[in-house]
């Protein structure tokens, strides 16, 4: 084995890297177990405990130290289906944006074109902006689009003589800005919400934002938080010197309110404001002077506010502590901000704070104070606490660089009203070099000091900014001129108990599948099976480590991907071992047989795995939510499977050979399985064609007559998982719900007989909170009609029509694209179109029969066969695995054709021999995956039972088609083609003297 030392080095490095990546998960789980033990079931207490240690070092590697927050950011997070929580898709209203940018015109053709564009966008791949331009052009309107958008606010971008293309470009830029800004606002709101390991991302190419909030159970609060309008405002500020006496008063009042048995507290209430300098010095030096826990506790009792909120101070040249000028009045550790808020919200403290003072936090920690957040003193300008100026006066904002210093800054422009008010506000602030705070959603994004009066409405904001800071601030300022809303169009809520059931199912299926695979490999391949098992162990370990290093979210389909990876890892070893057995039967020594077995099996392994990997790529780009988790796991699993199956198992064999250990690749009973098989596949191909045509015809008839049961993510609507205390009659539940909703309701058993899944299209076109509440109320009304049997809603999902349409289109395109990619790969790999057609016929056959079985068996089998995103993932995976088996046969045909040169074998004999020779490999590789899928189907849980069933059926059908259809089709297409069927004899070598 060449490069053995390099491979050992790579294994060692990869092992250490995976241990490092997974170690953060082990640390966070340990800390969270301690928090749970401390809280004793009190969730609020547990969360407070974790918040309190967020900034403390919990993982010390010697060369690096990590806080709990840093470990949490690098752990392998669990998805909603495993942990429970809320999954939301927000859609930015581009219709509203276009109307607002045109000042809501009353023009009939303008509004008709926009309405038509919005309607078409639900079934088209095009943006609302593009469709609107097309519809307006087609309307025959005489007014130019520029006449609507050439407003004062848009004067810097659109003129009265601007072309439609220029208007289109302007609208596209503004739409992108609206999406980006909504993303920033939502991310900030979620950070304030305090969710552990949230995931928020823009769905590329759409106006949607996907949000995952693990562990969240207050759905109503989340909806209000996410759908509230963002409000940008400019506030005048107070100076720290003015606010510090107020903070002292708050501190003393708190000490008096919170005193218990601490005698020192009584003395603290008598403190006088003249002792300010001493207090500042004590607070600044408390770490040096108060090392003991008792001293710290005493200081906190005397100064409860200042123990968690450090006043904003600086040290003078003579070492004295002085209050820092500016609007920043304090700084607190991130873990202490909740306590500061609680103190300030106490009734006796709220009574002390004047109406013209608002204390607001900064949006994020400053670069130099990673774990600390600044508190600002804001000065309302109206009796009701309003701002000096609203953000809707801004016409443009962009990140830039100062021409003199080349430092990052932000420039902004205002409309005429804004310029007038801005001049008045800045003139007042510049007299005492006061700051103006830029506030969005009651969070301070920046508070620049005004150096001089600013006339004309053009301003620049500079400071200690990074380039990323200026981009964020520019986006925030643009929100003032982008008055558009974000609405929830898809929503899924998973209860924690259902999540725990999913975890149990995932772990059970993984362990059982692992045991089944290992037992089978040893039972069939003797000692060589142990080499494969070692490779599988390393494969799963590497896969988990890489997922952790990528911060991939582990979902239930992701666990299914891990279980399937075990099967694919063994698949490669089966190909190798069957080839080794073949070399041994040809009389080679065990050492030579192993070397040649790995060498000759490699092309088939690569071809089969690459086709599946390509399907994973399609799933990754077209899927969303849990499907992304499955695609990620599948692709990484294929890569790790190739590495471990080819190299690690080979290292095990080399280890055994060096020590003259006996290597057996079979038992006596399994040594000659299907050896010498001579089934007449080619001669009987027409009979098999007829069987397949009949199966395809039956499938197509069912597909076009009975159809499918579409999941909520394909048809839209709302789905609820309901658990009753006792078993229920489905028909009774369905009748009760039909009476309440006055429409047909889908009710299916979900797992046990006391659990049902309810899908309703009632109010399908309404996604408002009011509609959600009405549907939920009617659902509970119908469910409650079964007397003496209480129910609980375990999870719920809502999908709007636009999302359902988009998912359907993406599913169709992903299937088409997968077939095209596979066909192109086969063409490139085998250089003949006949092979591509053979693979395409086989794959299309498998796809139709799988769809047909889901149609035929729906409502007959006792589990869900909905066509949803999980089915799409299974469907595309089946396509990949179907080609996997087909490629193995094709590789042997190509190899045997070259061996047949100079013999009297015809092409039919070559193809038939290739099928028979690879029969044992085809069946055994399929069997190993089938074993795994049966385990997944039985133990994987109800959530993915249909998913496992689809792949299980697909593998069986795919194995049949790769033997019966793919190669015979190539034969029929190529039997008269001399380039394929009768390759030219090798030319003799010319030896020159």
Q: Are residues 379 and 448 in the same domain?
A: yes
Judged against a pLDDT cut of 60, whether residue 989 lies above it is answered with: no
pLDDT of residue 853: 93
d(CA 613, CA 320) in angstroms, rounded, equals 66
Instruction: Please check whether residues 413 and 473 belong to one and the same domain.
Output: yes
Half-sphere exposure of 838 (CA within 13 A, CB side): 27
> Do 118 and 61 have their domain in common?
no
Tell me if 841 is assigned to some domain.
yes
> pLDDT over 90 for what percent of the chain?
10
Q: What is the pLDDT of residues 325-365, one digit of tens each?
A: 889 999 988 778 878 888 898 888 888 999 889 999 988 87
- 695 and 616 part of one domain: yes
Which residues, 6 or more positions from 313, have their beta carbon under 8 angstroms from its beta carbon? 280, 283, 284, 321, 322, 323, 324
Please indicate, yes or no, if residue 449 is contained in any of the structural domains: yes
In a domain, 941, yes or no: yes
If phi over 0 gives left and psi between -120 and 50 gives alpha, with beta otherwise, what is residue 215?
left
Across the chain, mean pLDDT equals 81
Question: How many domains does the chain contain in total?
Answer: 5
* 185-194, 266-275, 367-376, 558-567: range with lowest mean pLDDT: 266-275
- Distances from the Cα of 916 to the Cαs of 612, 680, 836, 955, 960, in angstroms? 24, 9, 21, 19, 13
439 and 526 in a single domain? The answer is: no
Evaluated on CA atoms 142, 148, 149, 151, the torsion sign reads positive
Q: What's the pLDDT score for residue 280?
A: 55
Q: Residue 988 falls within a domain, yes or no?
A: no
Find tokens 């106490």 and name the residue.
346
Determine the Cα–Cα distance for residues 673 and 924; give it in Å rounded to an integer. Answer: 10
pTM, entire model: 0.68
Q: Of the ranges 220-229, 649-658, 712-721, 835-844, which one carries the lowest mean pLDDT score? A: 220-229
Residue 649 lies in a domain: yes
DSSP 909-952: HHHHHHHHHTHHHHHHHHHHHHHHHHHHHHHS-GGGHHHHHHHH
pLDDT > 90? residue 17: yes
Last residue of a domain, one of 484, 518, 533: 484
Each residue's pLDDT tens digit, 865-903: 888 777 887 887 787 777 777 887 888 888 788 776 556
pLDDT, average across residues 520-549: 90
| Structural domain containing residue 104 | 89-227
List of long-range contacts for 450-456, beta carbons under 8 Å, 24+ apart: 450/426, 452/426, 453/423, 453/426, 453/427, 454/422, 454/423, 454/426, 455/419, 455/423, 456/419, 456/423
Q: Are residues 793 and 867 in the same domain?
A: no
d(CA 294, CA 507) in angstroms, rounded, equals: 46
CATH code (residue 724): 3.30.70.3400
Do 361 and 471 share a domain, yes or no? yes
Query: What is residue 259's predicted lDDT score, i.e. its pLDDT?
Result: 72
pLDDT in tens, 459-501: 888 777 778 778 777 777 766 555 577 777 777 777 666 667 7
Per-residue pLDDT of 5-16, as tens digits, reads 888 899 999 999
Token pair listed for 785: 């009609």
Q: What would the two tokens of residue 435 be? A: 């700051």
Q: Assign 490 to helix, strand or coil.
A: strand
* Residue 984 pLDDT: 46
Rounded CA separation 490/796 (Å): 11
Considering 75, 97, 118, which residue would you say is the last residue of a domain? 75
Question: Are both 892 and 743 inside the same structural domain?
Answer: no
511 and 580 assigned to the same domain: yes
Dist. CA 202–CA 209, nearest whole Å: 4
Q: Is residue 924 part of a domain?
A: yes
Instruction: Supply the pLDDT for residue 24.
Output: 92
Judge if 843 and 898 occupy the same domain: yes
Q: Are residue 855 and residue 877 in the same domain, yes or no?
A: yes
Task: Tell me whether residue 82 is in a domain.
Answer: no
> What SS3 class is residue 227?
helix
Where a domain ends, among 744, 777, 799?
799
Say if 660 falls within a structural domain. Answer: yes
Q: How many CB atoms lie within 10 A of CB 404?
A: 6
Predicted pLDDT at 901: 57
Tell me: do 168 and 248 sit in the same domain.
Answer: no
């Amino acid at each position: 084995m060449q490069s053995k030392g390099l491979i050992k080095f790579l294994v060692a490095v990869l092992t250490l890297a995976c241990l490092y990546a997974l170690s953060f998960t082990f640390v966070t789980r340990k800390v969270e177990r301690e928090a749970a033990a401390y809280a004793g079931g009190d969730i609020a207490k547990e969360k407070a405990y974790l918040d309190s240690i967020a900034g403390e070092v919990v993982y010390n590697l010697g060369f690096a130290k990590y806080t709990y927050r840093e470990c949490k950011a690098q752990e392998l997070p669990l998805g909603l289906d495993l942990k429970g929580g809320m999954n939301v898709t927000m859609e930015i209203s581009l219709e509203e944006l276009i109307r607002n940018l045109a000042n809501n015109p009353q023009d009939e053709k303008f509004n008709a074109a926009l309405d038509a564009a919005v309607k078409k966008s639900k079934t088209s791949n095009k943006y609302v902006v593009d469709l609107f331009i097309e519809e307006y052009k087609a309307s025959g309107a005489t007014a130019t689009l520029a006449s609507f958008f050439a407003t004062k606010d848009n004067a810097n971008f659109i003129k009265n003589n601007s072309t439609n293309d220029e208007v289109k470009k302007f609208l596209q830029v503004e739409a992108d800005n609206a999406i980006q800004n909504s993303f920033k606002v939502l991310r900030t709101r979620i950070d304030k919400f305090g969710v552990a390991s949230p995931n928020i991302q823009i769905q590329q190419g759409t106006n949607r934002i996907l949000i995952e909030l693990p562990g969240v159970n207050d759905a109503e609060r989340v909806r209000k938080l996410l759908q509230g309008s963002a409000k940008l405002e400019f506030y005048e500020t107070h100076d720290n010197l003015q606010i510090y006496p107020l903070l002292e008063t708050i501190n003393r009042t708190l000490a008096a309110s919170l005193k218990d048995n601490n005698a020192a507290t009584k003395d603290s209430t008598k403190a006088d404001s003249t002792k300010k300098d001493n207090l500042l010095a004590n607070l600044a030096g408390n770490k040096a002077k108060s090392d003991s826990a008792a001293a710290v506790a005493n200081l906190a009792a005397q100064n409860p506010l200042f123990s968690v909120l450090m006043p904003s101070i600086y040290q003078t040249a003579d070492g004295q502590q002085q209050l820092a000028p500016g609007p920043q009045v304090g700084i607190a550790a991130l873990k202490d901000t909740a306590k500061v808020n609680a103190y300030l919200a106490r009734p006796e403290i709220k009574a002390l704070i004047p109406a013209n003072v608002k204390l607001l936090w900064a949006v994020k920690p400053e670069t130099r104070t990673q774990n600390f957040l600044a508190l600002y003193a804001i000065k309302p300008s109206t009796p009701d606490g309003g701002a000096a100026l609203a953000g809707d006066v801004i016409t443009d904002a962009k990140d830039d660089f100062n021409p003199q210093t080349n430092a990052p800054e932000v420039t902004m422009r205002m409309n005429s009203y804004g310029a007038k008010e801005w001049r008045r506000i800045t003139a007042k602030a510049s007299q005492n070099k006061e700051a103006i705070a830029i506030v969005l959603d009651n969070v301070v994004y920046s508070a620049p000091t005004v150096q001089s009066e600013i006339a004309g409405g053009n301003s620049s904001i500079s400071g200690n900014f990074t380039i990323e800071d200026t981009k964020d601030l520019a986006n925030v300022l643009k929100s003032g001129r982008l008055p558009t809303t974000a609405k929830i169009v898809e929503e899924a809520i998973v209860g924690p108990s259902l999540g725990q059931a999913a975890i149990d199912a995932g772990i059970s299926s993984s362990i059982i599948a692992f045991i089944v695979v290992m037992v089978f490999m040893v039972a069939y391949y003797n000692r060589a099976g142990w080499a494969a098992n070692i490779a599988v162990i390393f494969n799963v370990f590497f896969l988990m480590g890489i997922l952790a290093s990528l911060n991939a979210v582990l979902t239930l389909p992701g666990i299914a991907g891990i279980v399937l990876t075990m099967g694919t890892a063994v698949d490669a070893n089966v190909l190798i071992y069957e080839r080794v057995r073949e070399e041994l039967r040809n009389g080679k020594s065990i050492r030579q047989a192993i070397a040649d077995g790995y060498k000759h099996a490699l092309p088939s392994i690569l071809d089969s795995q690459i086709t599946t990997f390509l399907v994973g790529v399609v799933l990754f780009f077209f899927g969303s939510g849990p499907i992304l988790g499955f695609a990620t796991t599948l692709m990484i699993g294929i890569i790790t499977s190739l590495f471990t199956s080819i190299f690690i198992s080979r290292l095990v064999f080399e280890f055994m050979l060096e020590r003259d250990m006996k290597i057996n690749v079979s038992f006596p009973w399994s040594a000659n399985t299907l050896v010498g098989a001579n089934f007449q596949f080619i001669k009987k191909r027409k009979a098999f064609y007829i069987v397949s045509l009949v199966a395809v015809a039956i499938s197509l008839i069912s597909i076009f007559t009975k159809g499918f049961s579409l999941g909520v993510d394909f048809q839209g609507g709302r789905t609820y998982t309901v658990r009753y205390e006792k078993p229920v009659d489905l028909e009774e539940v369905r009748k009760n719900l039909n009476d309440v909703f006055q429409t047909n309701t889908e009710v299916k058993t979900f797992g046990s007989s006391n659990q049902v899944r309810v899908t309703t299209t009632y109010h399908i076109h309404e996604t408002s909170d009011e509609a959600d509440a009405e549907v939920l109320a009617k659902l509970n009304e119908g469910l409650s009609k079964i007397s003496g049997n209480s129910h609980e809603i375990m999870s719920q999902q809502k999908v709007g029509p636009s999302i359902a349409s988009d998912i359907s289109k993406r599913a169709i395109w992903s299937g088409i694209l997968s077939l095209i990619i596979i066909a192109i790969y086969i063409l490139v790999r085998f250089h003949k179109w006949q092979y591509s057609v053979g693979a395409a016929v086989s794959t299309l056959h498998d796809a139709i029969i799988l769809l047909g079985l889901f149609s035929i068996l729906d409502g007959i089998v006792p589990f869900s066969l909905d066509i949803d995103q999980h089915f799409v993932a299974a469907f595309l995976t089946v396509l990949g695995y179907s080609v996997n088996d087909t490629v193995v046969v094709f590789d042997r045909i190509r190899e045997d054709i070259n061996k047949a040169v100079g013999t009297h074998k015809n092409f039919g004999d070559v193809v038939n021999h290739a099928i028979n020779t690879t029969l044992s490999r085809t069946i055994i590789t399929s069997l190993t995956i089938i074993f795994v899928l049966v385990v997944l189907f039985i133990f994987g849980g109800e959530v993915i039972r249909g998913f496992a069933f689809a792949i299980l059926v697909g593998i069986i059908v795919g194995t049949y088609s790769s033997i019966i259809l793919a190669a015979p089709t190539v034969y029929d297409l190529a039997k008269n083609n001399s380039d394929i069927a009768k390759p030219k004899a090798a030319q003799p070598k010319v030896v020159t003297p």
